[in-house]
Chain A
């Protein structure tokens, strides 16, 4: 893989649809949720409540109890917690300084831009080990092994 392409994350069409739908549903607020799967391939989502107290139009927060829920769900599915997704209502799908300040290493961070209520660009980012910045990865759309996987969006 050419270095310029960065790390690669594969998502199924159902996951892609579900993230976009979640972002549109919560617009103008930010949505958030966990990415579950294996080997850099996301197969399931756990949609989580945005518990920020700083204004959900510009912030999201997954509280510790929901984080635990996501890890538990990953274990149940025999999968791993690969990262999180969130939306940027009326803002580009690029991480903010705030995202960087709060980022965890290793995790994949998917950002979907939702412009005027319609999901647009979707990108994926990884925190550099020295926390200095994010590195953009590439989102690869894999084949969907299970057309009903969209139902695997949990509340």
Chain B
């Protein structure tokens, strides 16, 4: 027998007594006996699953049983057991998102749509979680998310958002599915090669979830269309692979006040964060200036582990649904770096920069600019007509000259593993990075044809050789890809 102290609100169930006796060797047994003697208490102490309600605190003497052995905590006749309320409450859940700092401000007057019976069945694993519930699912249904890119990152993002029931998903892309996409872009499959990515994406997403609205925008995102394109959406998911678009997406998000669920991938490393929320930092707070052109290679140049965008895209999708529902701790002011080879995550703290040119206190960038120029990439100018002073030649021209018996040295500047895939017969191999220390292996009087995969790296090598006095240097336009297309289709492309 032990004494249990009863709090004010429960005293009507114990004949107004503030202390009653009950028997049992543990807290659990004691409370079971208490509710047998005073049956009205049961509904208030225990939930439907028979667990003590979260706001019911039980103390043995002055210790919370959560820090002892919970309901197995032993009690003796000399112990005093107290039931002590936590009193909690809050504003209605349907509009929690408005009040939560880390959440998206969905258009305030937007009605939350109801769920059909089919939707209840489809989303039942969401609905049974109190953190999501019917209200969270209705928020997802009301939400509009725009994915920039339907490629490596866009694939897992769009698929999981579609599956989760985000009511409107927009996709921006103007590319066509290529064999080299299939290693990671799981929205697209082998029969889709040659189709526009948006067509393939829409078919997959609509098959996955016919309840949602898929909007396709088959355009190249630019300073002219970005604001108009973003306007109807609540969250923008950046799945782009180049710096001009990344800065464009960031600036447009800041200007419109829309959160940017950011992700990027390269080789074995991924990054993710949430930018451009009301009080959080933006991409420019982290990187005020773009890297010099060509310094950071793209995935097409440097490669990417196929499963990597899966993980980073799913982080972006996770942050997006959290923002929409206004739950959890968003990835705002934190920059996540993932290393797939070491299987490690690092987290950098990120602060909003008061001097940020876009989101700072005195912004200097208040409308969208020319991002190609900002990133030092010259706009595609008409080909210079330099007949007598040519700097490049085409695959067909190279073939003709080789057939004619001209003495040419073809210098392949790709990495060794790329040469295992394909090679122009007779080429010598010096990787681009080795050119500065090995160029003297090349005869300054010989005619040199610089070659790589597509002509970008070999162009840099050619520029370098000219700068150190080589006079007869030509760049193979379109690289080995063009060579295979026009001259030697038996070799594989990558």
In whole angstroms, what is the CA distance A39 to B95 when docked? 36
List residues of A (68-96) whose CB comes within 8 Å of B's CBs: 68, 71, 74, 80-81, 84, 86, 88-92, 94-96
B10 at the interface (CB under 8 A from A): yes
Query: Chain A: which residue is nearest B83 at the CB level?
Result: A64
- Beta-carbon contact of A96 and B89 below 8 Å: yes
Nearest-CB distance from A84 to chain B (Å)?
5
- Beta-carbon contact of A59 and B88 below 8 Å: yes
In whole angstroms, what is the CA distance A99 to B55 when docked? 11
Nearest-CB distance from B357 to chain A (Å)?
30
9 contacts between A and B (CB under 8 A): A32-B87, A60-B87, A60-B90, A64-B64, A71-B8, A86-B90, A90-B99, A105-B44, A130-B43
In whole angstroms, what is the CA distance A109 to B85 when docked? 14
- Beta-carbon contact of A57 and B101 below 8 Å: yes
In whole angstroms, what is the CA distance A60 to B44 when docked? 20
A116 at the interface (CB under 8 A from B): no
In whole angstroms, what is the CA distance A126 to B93 when docked? 20
B57 at the interface (CB under 8 A from A): yes
When distances are taken between beta carbons in the complex, the residues of chain A under 8 Å from B95 are 91
- Beta-carbon contact of A67 and B92 below 8 Å: no
- Beta-carbon contact of B91 and A88 below 8 Å: yes
Nearest-CB distance from A40 to chain B (Å)?
14
B100 at the interface (CB under 8 A from A): yes
Range for the number of chain A residues in contact with chain B: 35 or more
- Beta-carbon contact of A61 and B91 below 8 Å: no
In whole angstroms, what is the CA distance A18 to B57 when docked? 29
Nearest-CB distance from B470 to chain A (Å)?
65
Nearest 10 Cβ contacts at the A-B interface: A96-B92, A59-B90, A99-B89, A104-B9, A62-B87, A91-B91, A102-B88, A57-B99, A64-B84, A106-B9
- Beta-carbon contact of A97 and B93 below 8 Å: yes
Nearest-CB distance from B136 to chain A (Å)?
12
- Beta-carbon contact of A102 and B87 below 8 Å: yes
B96 at the interface (CB under 8 A from A): yes
Known: A68-B84, A90-B98, A102-B55. A81 touches B8 (CB 8 A): yes
In whole angstroms, what is the CA distance A105 to B44 when docked? 8
List residues of A (1-46) whose CB comes within 8 Å of B's CBs: 28, 30, 32
- Beta-carbon contact of A109 and B89 below 8 Å: yes
In whole angstroms, what is the CA distance A64 to B66 when docked? 13
Pick the contact of B86 from A61, A90, A91, A99 — CB < 8 Å?
A61
Known: A64-B59, A105-B44. A98 touches B85 (CB 8 A): no
Known: A58-B99, A67-B85. A98 touches B9 (CB 8 A): no
- Beta-carbon contact of B89 and A59 below 8 Å: yes
Nearest-CB distance from B151 to chain A (Å)?
36
In whole angstroms, what is the CA distance A97 to B91 when docked? 9
In whole angstroms, what is the CA distance A91 to B89 when docked? 13
B433 at the interface (CB under 8 A from A): no
Query: Chain A: which residue is nearest B56 at the CB level?
Result: A104
Nearest-CB distance from A119 to chain B (Å)?
15
A154 at the interface (CB under 8 A from B): no
Pick the contact of A98 from B7, B40, B59, B93 — CB < 8 Å?
B93
B12 at the interface (CB under 8 A from A): yes
Known: A94-B92, A130-B43. A58 touches B100 (CB 8 A): yes
- Beta-carbon contact of B86 and A58 below 8 Å: no
When distances are taken between beta carbons in the complex, the residues of chain B under 8 Å from A62 are 85-88
List residues of A (99-114) whose CB comes within 8 Å of B's CBs: 99, 102-107, 109
In whole angstroms, what is the CA distance A55 to B85 when docked? 20
When distances are taken between beta carbons in the complex, the residues of chain B under 8 Å from A96 are 89-93
Nearest-CB distance from A87 to chain B (Å)?
9
In whole angstroms, what is the CA distance A105 to B98 when docked? 30
Pick the contact of B101 from A55, A59, A71, A95 — CB < 8 Å?
A55
- Beta-carbon contact of A104 and B87 below 8 Å: yes
A140 at the interface (CB under 8 A from B): no
In whole angstroms, what is the CA distance A63 to B59 when docked? 13
When distances are taken between beta carbons in the complex, the residues of chain A under 8 Å from B86 are 61-64, 67, 102
When distances are taken between beta carbons in the complex, the residues of chain B under 8 Å from A71 are 7-8
A144 at the interface (CB under 8 A from B): no
Nearest-CB distance from B167 to chain A (Å)?
22
In whole angstroms, what is the CA distance A71 to B13 when docked? 18
